[in-house]
Amino acid sequence: MADYRNIVILTGAGISAESGLATFRGPGGLWEGHRVEDVCTPEALAHDPALVHRFYDLRRAALAAVAPNAAHAALARLDAEWPGELLIVTQNVDDLHERAGTGRLLHMHGELTSALCAACDARVSWPGDLPPKTPCAACGAPALRPDIVFFGEMPYQMERIERALAACDLFVSIGTSGAVYPAAGFVQTARHYGAETLELNLEPSGGSGWFGESRLGPAGVLVPAWVDEVLAR
Ligand code: BV8
């Protein structure tokens, strides 16, 4: 293990699986019989807003029934104790990283507990159901939508992510299938800038071949062990 200073961590649905939230491409990965790709698009929102809003209402409501697991807790410990730079980039829209206490975090695909105004881009915390045509408090337009990055939309804070990838000396990917871009390409960017790369996943992902090291197993076991290793340096 080299002497790391700056770490970037990418997390996906696999880190929340042991909390009871279904992943997208695993068993039970369908939502009400819908593939995410079919309801997570601007076209689906325009065509059937009630379906898309309900899809996200159900997932937002499910948050109350789940809690962070040992993997989220371990990353929160790393965030609290790591003296160098650290950025946790999550593809997940659940709030489990925050509830575990992680601060150095960004949601590149949005958040279930936030609503976005399609008219004025205002964001507002939204813990409950969000019916279509809910008025925006900032501009009054009946245009609040789930604050979710749909397929075909630009993920959030990409410049900040790219700067962090260029500056990091360790990139760790946890619980993601490597099926969705640009997140699936982050390992290649990190390698290009000379970072070491580690994958912690239940099974080999689409991008396993790009990682310097791959450890297979549940995040609830692998992540606390890895955090102990890094903090013991
Ligand atoms: C963009 C929203 C460009 C919230 C998500 C054709 C047409 C249009 C676009 C494209 C196209 N071809 C390619 C694209 C690009 C597209 C894409 O990549 N498509 C794929 C399907 C081919 N990407 C986009 O559209 C992105 N935007 O490219 O914009 C652009 C440029 C300029 C201007 C404007 C636009 C936007 C992508 C974001 C889509 N939104 N989520 C939500 O509903 O959740 S994606 C969604 O799926 C998640 O956020 C996440 O990113 C992805 C799911 O992936 P994972 O998290 O990895 O989950 P998965 O189930 O797949 O895997 C779980 C893994 O965990 C598995 O490996 C499993 O083994 C492991 N695991 C399970 N249990 C455990 C475990 N590991 C450890 N422990 C366990 N216990």
pLDDT, tens digit, for every residue of 72-98?
Answer: 999 999 999 999 999 999 999 999 999
121 in contact with ligand 1, CB cutoff 6 A: no
> What is the CB-side half-sphere exposure of residue 149 using CA atoms within 13 A?
19
Check pocket membership of 14 for ligand 1, CB cut-off 6 A.
yes
**What's residue 32's pLDDT?**
58
pLDDT at 31: 60
**Pair 144, 134: CB distance under 8 Å:** yes
What pLDDT does residue 98 have? 98
- List pLDDT tens digits, range 180-220: 999 999 999 999 999 999 999 999 998 999 999 999 999 99
140: left (phi over 0), alpha (psi -120 to 50) or beta: left
Judged against a pLDDT cut of 90, whether residue 34 lies above it is answered with no
Nearest-angstrom CA–CA distance, 152 and 154: 7
The CA-based angle 198-200-205, given to 5 degrees, is 95
Among residues 154, 182, 156, 150, which one has the least CA distance to residue 42?
150
Residue nearest to atom 21 of ligand 1 (CA): 180
- DSSP E strand boundaries for the chain: 6-11, 85-90, 105-107, 110-117, 123-125, 144-148, 170-174, 196-201, 213-216
Structure tokens at 102: 């992680």
**What pTM value is reported for the model?**
0.96
Please indicate whether residue 91, judged by its CB atom, sits closer than 6 Å to ligand 1.
yes
Among protein residues, the one whose CA lies closest to atom 74 of ligand 1 = 14
Residue 33 has pLDDT above 80, yes or no: no
Q: Which atom of ligand 1 is nearest to the CA of 24?
A: 60
Cα angle 67-56-154, degrees, rounded to a multiple of 5 = 100
Tokens (6 digits) for 135: 């008025």
Please work out whether the CB of residue 77 comes within 6 Å of at least one atom of ligand 1. no
- Percent of the chain at pLDDT above 90? 89
